[in-house]
Structure 1
């Protein structure tokens, strides 16, 4: 994978559907990389939104 990957959705607001999907997948135990791919958002964006919503994200080991 390229490390300089550009995310087209950078700084775009989260939709209600995206937030619901994040909550659903996070509660199922999906890891951060999977969430980022499923939601086409950066890992940092996922981390920030999850923290704001009080969600726990599964850790990769």
Structure 2
């Protein structure tokens, strides 16, 4: 499994927590930062998935 998948998942979870904390405390800047980190995590996870697919097809 590509390290980007793991790191992306971490950022996605961390971002979701920040977003929720921002909503609960009425802090739109923190909420926005959380959304941004969550989306960046999703993107990084997709990059990792693509790399895994490339390696799988290249190895066969």
Per the normalisation by structure 1, the TM-score is 0.31
Rg bigger for which structure? Answer: 2
Per the normalisation by structure 2, the TM-score is 0.31
Higher helix share: 2
